[in-house]
Amino acid sequence: MSTYAKKQGFGATLWDYLTTVDHKKIAILYLIAGGVFFVLGGLEAMFIRIQLAIPNNDFVSAGFYNEILTMHGTTMIFLAAMPLVFAMMNAVVPLQIGARDVAFPFLNSLGFWLFFFGGLFLNLSWFMGGAPDAGWTSYASLSLHSPGHGVDFYILGLQISGLGTLIAGINFLATIINMRTPGMTYMRMPLFTWSTFVVSALILFAFPPLTVGLVLLMFDRMFGSNFFDVAAGGNTIIWEHLFWIFGHPEVYILILPAFGIFSEILATFSRKRLFGYSSMVFATVLIGFLGFMVWAHHMFTVGLGPIANAIFAVATMAIAVPTGIKIFNWLLTMWGGSVKFTVPMLYAVAFIPSFTMGGVTGIMNAVAPADYIFHDTYFVVAHFHYVIVGGVVFGLLAGVTFYWPKMFGTMLNETLGKISFWTFLIGFHLTFFIQHFLGLMGMPRRIFTFLDNQGLNTGNMISTVGAFFMAFAVIVLVINIIITSVKNVKVGNDPWGDGRTLEWAISSPPPYYNFKQLPLVRGLDAYWVEKMDGKTEMTPAEPLGDIHMPNSSILPLTTSLGLFVAAFGALYNMDDDKTWTVPVIIIGLLITLGSMLIRSIKDDHGYHIHKEELTDDHDKGVKA
Amino acid sequence: MVNERLNSANPSFDLKYRRKKNAEEMKHQVITFAMMIFFTLIAFAAVGFDFSKWFIKPVILLLAVVQVIFQLYYFMHMKHKGHNTIALFLFSGLAVGLLTVLTFLTIVWW
C-alpha cells in the first residue's frame, strides 16, 4: 500500500491497483486509461487527416469515415479529456486542500471503473459490427436511422461512463466542501481547487440531461418508442436541446480545470502571487453560471426564432467578459514577475494567445446571423479545436508535466518536453488555423472527401502536415515518459523549486495517508507563506494521532463489470434471433446488485494507522 | 440540529435552554403541519367547487410551492444554521431544471 513499500510482484501490484481506493493511485489509473484513449482518439484524428489530405481520396470509405469521425469526437471528449481532467483532480485536489483523501474513497474507485468499462464497451463496437456513426452529438434524426448496433454502443457506453463521471463530480463537491484543512477558507483555496469545485457543480447539473436524453434515445431505438421520431408524432429537436443542455456545460467542464492548472503554473513560474485572485474566483463561478444559459447557440440554424436566437447570442457574448478577466489576470501575473520558462510555463504562455484566438472565433459564431454562414463548415471545426486543443489539451499536457513529479516522484526530461512543446504548438496552428479559411471558402464539416479544383487542396494538405507534427509531439512525450520511468531518478518535495500551494509541502509521491498531521493554512498560497517566514514545512494543525484509513475493495470493479456485462445483453436484445440476451442481462445485473448487496451488509470500518507507526517511517516500509 | 451541536457530553448541559428550543420547534412544526393540511383542503375544495380552470391551476401550484418550502425548511430543518451550501445547490439545480422547463414550454412545444 505504501509508496515506500518493498518491491512486490506484478500480480500483487496489479491487485493493488484493481482494488485501490487511494486518490493518488486512482489518479494514475485515470491517467493511464485516459492516456490510452487519447492516443486512440489521436489515431482516429490521423486517419481523418490522411483521408482529407488530397481530393477524392479513398483511404477509407464514406461509411467508415463516419465511424472514425464519430469515435474521434466521442473518445476525445468523454474518454480522453474527461478522465485526464479527473486524473489531475484526483492527484492534486486532496493534497491542495490538505485532506486525507476524497470524501468517499470507495465511490472514487467506483467512478473510475464505471468510466473505464463504459469506455471499453464503446470501443468494443469496432470489433462487434461497427462503431457509432451519427457524430458525437448523435442527433436523433440521424441516429434513429443508423443501421447496426453502433449507436446502441454509444448509448449504453456513455450511460455507464456518465454514471462514473456523475459519481466523481459529487465526490469532489463533498470533498471540497467538507474536508479542507484548518485555515483553508474558501477564499484561500488554490485556483485549481476552485475550478474543480465549480466543474463538479457543473457535472452535477449537466450530466442528468444527458442521462435523460440517452434513456429516451435508448427507448426509441430498442423498445420502439417515439420520443424523437417525427413521423410518429415525436420531436427530434428535444434531443438537440437535451444534448446541448448537457453539451455546453460539458465544454466548460473541460476548460475550467485547464484554467485552474494554468493559474497554478503561471503563478509558480512567474514567482508571483496570482494577479487578481478574487476576480479569478469570481470569473470561474460566473463562467460556470453562464455556461447553463447558452446551449442554444449550437442550434441557431434549427429555427428557434429571432427572439430565442437573440437571447442566446447575447448570453453567449457575455461569457467573453469573465474569460477576458482571466486572460488579463494571467498576463498581469507574468507582468513584472521573475519568469522561468519551464515546459509547463511554455504551454501556459502559448495557451494565452491560442485560446484567445479560439475565443474570438467563438464570439464570431455567437453572432446568430453570421452563424448561418459559419454553421457546419470547417470554420466551426477550427473554432472548437482552437479552444479544446489550445485550451484543454495544452492544459493537460502542461498539468501532466507540472504534476508528474508529484504523481510519480520523477521529473520528465526538459529537453524532450521542449521538443514536444514546439512541435505540438507548430503542428496545432498549422492544422487548425488554415481550417478557418477552408470553412469560409465553404468546406462543410463531416464530409469524407472533397473534389479537386475547388481551392481546397492546399489548405487540406497543410492541415494534414500539421497533424503529423502533433503526432510526432505525442510520440516524443511517450518516449519521454518511458525514459523517465526507466531512469527513475527520485526528486524531493518541491522539484520545481517555486511551489506555492500545499501539495508541494509533501513528499513526491506523497505517503498513502497524505499529511501525517493536517497542516495549518495561514494564507493564500499556504506553502509560500511558510517559505517567506523562513520555514521549510507546514505548521501542523493537530497533534500526531491515529489515522483512519479506508480498506481496499474489489467491489467497485465488480459493480461496474456487472453493468458492462448486462449492457451486451441489452444491446443485442433488440435482435429477434438472439435468445441468450436475457440471461446475459440477468447475470450482469446479478453481479452488480450482488456487489452492491455485499457492500451494504458487510461492515467495513477501515483500519487505523497507529501513532507509533507514524513517528518515524521515513526509511522503513509502513505496513498498510 | 441545534441540539446536536453540543460541546459537552453532559446530557443535562443547558437542559432548560434546549427544552425551550424543542418546545418552540415543536410549536412551529405543529403550526406548519396544520397549515399544510389546510392548504390541501383548499386545493380539494377548489376542484370540488368547480371554479374556472384558470383560477384552480395557479392556486394549486402556488399552494404546492408553499408546501414544498414548509417541508424543506420546517420538517427537513433547512431553516437551521449550516444549510447555506445545501440551499445554494438546491436552488441552482432548481434554476437549471426550471430553465429547461421554460425552454420546452416556449421554444420547443409552443
Of A498, A411, A409, the residue nearest A28 (C-alpha): A409
Asked if A156 and A39 sit in the same domain, the reply is yes
For residues A530 and A548, membership in a common domain is answered with: no
> Is residue A488 domain-shared with residue A562, that is, in the same domain?
no
- Residue A550 shares a structural domain with residue A425: no
Burial letters for A118-153: b for 16+ Cβ neighbours within 10 Å, e otherwise?
bbbbbbebeeeebbbbbbbbbebebbbebebbbbbb
Domain enclosing residue A418, as ranges: 26-511+523-542
Task: Tell whether A502 and A564 lie within a shared domain.
Answer: no
pLDDT at A49: 96
Report the candidate in A185, A7, A14, A154 with the shortest Cα–Cα distance to residue A70: A154
Same domain, A532 and A587: no
Judge whether A330 and A352 are in contact, CB under 8 Å: yes
Nearest to A241 among B92, B93, B108 (CB): B108
- Tell me, yes or no, whether A11 lies in a domain: no
Cα A240 versus chain centre, distance? 23
Q: Is residue A9 part of a domain?
A: no
**A379 CB-near residues (< 8 Å, 6+ apart):** A361, A365, A435, A436, A438, A439, A440
* Residue range B8-41, pLDDT digits in tens: 566 677 788 888 888 888 898 899 999 999 999 9
User: A402: domain CATH number?
Assistant: 1.20.210.10
Answer whether residue A15 is part of any domain: no
From B94, which residue of chain A is nearest by alpha-carbon distance? A205
Res A386: pLDDT: 97
Q: What's the confidence (pLDDT) of residue B9? A: 63
- Which residues in chain B touch residue A308, judged by CB atoms under 8 angstroms apart? 106-107
Predicted local confidence at residue B109, as pLDDT: 79
CA torsion A35-A41-A43-A46 (nearest 10°) is -130
Closest residue to A238, CB basis, from B85, B99, B108: B108
User: Scanning every residue of chain B, which has its alpha carbon at the shortest distance from the alpha carbon of A200?
Assistant: B89
- In which element (H, E) is residue B2 found? none
pLDDT of residue A1: 45
Question: CB distance A205–B92 less than 8 Å?
Answer: yes
Report, in this order, helix, strand and coil percent for chain A, each rounded to 5.
70, 0, 30
CB-closest option in A173, A292, A308 to B107: A308
CA distance A144 to chain B (A): 20
Give the closest-approach CA distance of A258 to chain B in angstroms. 24
Record the cell numbers describing residue A160, joined without a space: 455507464
| Cell of residue A362, nine digits | 467563438
CATH number at residue A554: 1.10.287.70
According to the model, what pLDDT value does residue A576 have? 79
Distance of CA A509 to the CA centre of its chain: 22
Distance from CA of A118 to the nearest CA of B (A): 26
Classify the C-alpha dihedral A552-A555-A560-A564 as positive or negative. Answer: positive
Residue in chain B nearest A289 by alpha carbon:
B92
Residues in chain A with CB shorter than 8 Å from the CB of B93 are 204-205
pLDDT confidence tier of residue B7, bands split at 50, 70 and 90 = low
Is the domain of A601 the same as that of A455?
no
Residue found under cell 479560439: A358
Q: Among B96, B108, B109, whose Cβ lies nearest the Cβ of A292? A: B96
Considering the domain architecture, whether residues A602 and A493 belong to the same structural domain is answered as no
Residue A1 lies in a domain: no
Determine the pLDDT at residue A616.
66
- A-B C-beta contacts closer than 8 Å: 31
Say if A5 falls within a structural domain. Answer: no
Phi (first) and psi of residue A444, to 5 degrees: -75, 155
CA distance B74 to B27: 11
**Number of domain units in chain A:** 2
Residue pair A255/A205 in contact (Cβ under 8 Å)? The answer is no
The reported pLDDT for the residue numbered B2 is: 46
pLDDT for the residue A7: 64
Rounded to a whole number of angstroms, the distance from the CA of B107 to the nearest CA of chain A is 6
pLDDT at A449: 94
Tell me, what's the pLDDT at A624?
A: 46
CA neighbor of A395 nearest in space, from A324, A333, A347, A342: A347
Helix and strand element counts for chain B (H, E) = 3, 0
A533 with A550, same domain: the answer is: no
> Do A79 and A91 contact (CB within 8 A), yes or no?
no
**Measuring CA to CA, how many Å separate A581 from each of A572, A578, B14?**
6, 6, 64
Reading the block at residue A514, the C-alpha cell is 497524505
Q: Which residues contact B39 (CB under 8 A, 6 or more apart)?
A: B63, B66, B67
Query: Does A321 lie in the same domain as A211?
Result: yes
Please check whether residues A319 and A464 belong to one and the same domain: yes
Block mean pLDDT (10 aa), chain A, length 624: 61 94 96 97 97 95 95 96 97 95 95 97 94 94 92 96 96 95 95 97 95 95 91 92 95 96 97 95 95 93 92 94 96 95 97 96 95 95 96 97 96 96 97 96 94 94 97 97 95 93 94 93 94 92 92 96 95 86 95 96 91 68 48
Residue A199 lies in a domain: yes
Tell whether A20 is covered by a domain: no
Which residues of B fall within a CB distance of 8 Å from A209? 100
Same domain for A559 and A447 = no
pLDDT, tens digit (0-9, with 9 covering 90-100), for B58-90: 999 999 999 999 888 888 888 888 888 888 999
Q: At what angle do helices A191-222 and A150-178 cross, to 10 degrees?
A: 150
Residue A10: inside a domain: no
Alpha-helical segments (H) within A97-149:
105-124, 140-143
